[in-house]
């Protein structure tokens, strides 16, 4: 079981050039959440949703992990399975920085989920053109991401890790979306020390023992060094 559980959100990828959701110029600007991030929105207008994710998948090829992703990967080199990264992000920047112990609770942009056979396949191309599922051949692929009203991935494993952790750190997330926004209270109830690293105080800042404000690319390497020195 990990001693340290790190929750990451869009803010950790912001310095790589991946837009956040709720900041000015964020992903929701120009899009209604209910149109592009709900199963109902997908049923209403598949093309708009597929295009939204196709564009983000293509943009992923143009960005690189930043100092915050790299600091977490370096920490894992020392702590091994003692560090678990639970990310709300659907990009692959943690993995590209070298992290291996990662849970993508809101899914992955580089996977397509077949609504017919339920299999998730690696996917780097587009979905707007309604390609066939590599497993069953049905033309029923959607992005393998978790929309509002759907259940995030690996909740049991995350709950167990939060219950056992001695430290919980939340990085670059607004704390506006559940169940991730409730992780700090879960971890605290079970005795963890809790720390927030964010550009500004999040909606749930008051739940943390400590909250530090700044850019993830500055704060995360500093915190990682503290862990290694103590």
Q: What is the DSSP letter of 13?
A: H
How many residues bind ligand BJW, per CB under 6 A? 36
- Show contacts with ligand BJW in window 12-71 (CB under 6 A): 14-15, 20-23, 26, 37
Cis peptide before 179 (omega within 30 of 0): yes
**C-alpha angle 202-204-206 in degrees, rounded to nearest 5:** 105
- The DSSP code sequence of 175-210 is S-STTGGGHHHHHHHTT-EEEEEESS--TTGGGSSE
Site membership for ligand BJW, residue 104 (CB under 6 A): no
Among 58, 155, 222, 228, interactor with ligand BJW by CB under 6 A: 155
User: Which stretch in 4-12, 76-84, 111-119, 132-140 sits in contact with ligand BJW by CB under 6 A?
Assistant: 4-12
Reply yes or no on whether 106 is catalytic: yes
CA atoms within 13 A on the CB side of 57: 23
Site membership for ligand BJW, residue 177 (CB under 6 A): yes
Is residue 132 left, alpha or beta, with left meaning phi > 0 and alpha meaning psi from -120 to 50? beta
Judged by beta carbon, residue 73 or residue 219, the one nearer ligand BJW is 219
What residues make contact with ligand BJW under the rule CB under 6 A? 9-11, 14-15, 20-23, 26, 37, 88, 90, 106, 145-152, 155, 172-174, 176-179, 198-200, 202, 215-216
């Amino acid at each position: 079981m990990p001693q340290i559980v790190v929750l990451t959100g869009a803010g950790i990828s912001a310095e790589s050039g991946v837009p956040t959701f709720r900041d000015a110029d964020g992903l929701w600007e120009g899009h209604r959440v209910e149109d592009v991030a709900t199963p109902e929105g997908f049923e209403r207008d598949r093309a708009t949703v597929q295009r939204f994710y196709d564009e983000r998948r293509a943009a992923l090829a143009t960005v690189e992990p930043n100092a915050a992703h790299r600091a977490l990967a370096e920490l894992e080199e020392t702590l091994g399975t003692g560090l678990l990264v639970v990310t709300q992000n659907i990009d692959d920047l943690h993995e590209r920085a070298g992290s291996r112990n990662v849970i993508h609770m809101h899914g992955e942009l580089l996977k397509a989920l077949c609504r017919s056979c339920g299999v998730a396949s690696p996917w780097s191309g587009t979905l707007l053109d309604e390609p066939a599922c590599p497993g069953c051949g049905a033309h029923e692929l959607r992005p393998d991401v978790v929309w509002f009203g759907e259940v995030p991935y690996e909740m049991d494993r995350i709950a167990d890790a939060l219950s056992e952790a001695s430290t919980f750190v939340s990085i670059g997330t607004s704390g506006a979306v559940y169940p991730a926004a409730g992780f700090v209270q879960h971890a605290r109830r079970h005795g963890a020390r809790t720390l927030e690293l964010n550009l500004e105080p999040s909606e749930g800042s008051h739940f943390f023992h400590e909250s530090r404000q700044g850019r993830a690319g500055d704060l995360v390497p500093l915190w990682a060094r503290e862990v290694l020195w103590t």
